[in-house]
Amino acid sequence: MEPAEAEAGGGIAAARSSPAAVQATNDDAAASKLSCVTKGYMKDDYVHHFVRRTTKRAPIINRGYYARWSVLRKLMLQFLNAGSGSDDQKRKQILSLGAGFDTTFFQLQDEGLAPYLYVELDFQEVTSKKAAIINHYNDMKEKLGPDASISIEKGEVTSTNYKLFSADIRDIPKLDAVIRMAEMDPSLPTFIIAECVLIYLDPTSTDAIVSWASEKFSSAIFFLYEQIHPDDAFGEQMIRNLERAVARDMLKIYNDFIDSGERRRIERLELFDEFEEWHMMQEHYCVAYGINDAEGIFDDFGFKE
Ligand code: SAH
């Protein structure tokens, strides 16, 4: 979450205690992504369906969102390519926790890169809105294929390759139920995304979710992108958890991991002189991932030194 988002959502503290405020951060994320798309930072042909009024964000916010989008994209593509040299290319799954209005599935589908199964979870208020929008716009609906069924009331979309369900992700038995309903196969390679969502949960819930994922999926990558607040209880707990995973701050990721050609391209898009602020801001965001590699297909996955 970037500062503008925190304001729109009433701040992280407010958001943690109020579902409506948490969901507002999702509206804000979509608006910020659209701002980036409009400026040419990245391509997303669907996010505009989720934003009522186009707003322009400051260059530093656009660059932050670009970096966030870019690192997730790069690691996700590494996952999707993993094991592709072997004879039996495995079917792959993606599970997005607190997916909000993310449109990655539809974009991947356009690019011919979508995995066998893409499952998204969020609160019902959010999934109902998302289901309504998917139902309304043909360019989205047609990506689901002829077997799709959409329930706006339940906030559910089920199709062969894409599924959207409502769930409070703190409810672990519900997660198990959803996995069954979505017909996910826990033995298939799975990429689990927690992008700007764990920060709204208490540390015990986060622990339970991470443990659940690691016990459930034997061949999986758990990806998280979060703001780091080292001084609060959540931050302390997260940092303890991160010690068991590969973690990097976004400044390092932006400088060393995002493709240099892409970086040069986006740095020419807007005048930018807030370097000090940029450094400070990016140091307070991180990406971490944990890997279960029962099949030995993730040797080439991750940040390279
Ligand atoms: N991951 C998306 C959305 C981030 S906003 C993105 O990066 O664009 C955070 C989202 O997490 C919101 O849509 C909010 O409704 C959802 N969320 C927060 N707590 C949740 C919970 N306990 N269960 C399910 N979804 C939750």
CA 65 to chain centre: 12
Three-state secondary structure call for residue 191: strand
The pair of structure tokens assigned to 168 is 């409070």
Which of 200, 240, 225 minimizes the C-alpha distance to 289? 225
The model's pLDDT over 151-171, given as tens digits with 9 standing for 90+, comes to 999 999 999 999 999 999 999
Kindly state if the Cβ of 170 falls inside 6 Å of ligand 1. yes
Confidence of residue 9 (pLDDT cuts 50, 70, 90): very low
Ligand 1: nearest atom to the Cα of 225 = 7
82 contacts 115 by C-beta, under 8 angstroms: no
The arithmetic mean of pLDDT across residues 276-294, rounded, is 94
Q: Please tell me the predicted confidence (pLDDT) of residue 24.
A: 85
| pLDDT value at 92 more than 90 | yes
Q: Please tell me the predicted confidence (pLDDT) of residue 88.
A: 59
What pTM, to 2 d.p., does this model score?
Answer: 0.93
The pair of structure tokens assigned to 44 is 């997303």
Domains and CATH numbers, the chain: 4-293 (3.40.50.150)
Cα 22 to middle of ligand 1, angstroms: 7
Confidence of residue 3 (pLDDT cuts 50, 70, 90): very low
Three-state secondary structure call for residue 183: coil
Q: What is the residue with the minimal CA distance to atom 26 of ligand 1?
A: 98
| pLDDT value at 238 more than 90 | no
Q: Decide which of 60 and 245 is more confident.
A: 60
Three-state secondary structure call for residue 220: strand
Q: Please tell me the predicted confidence (pLDDT) of residue 7.
A: 40
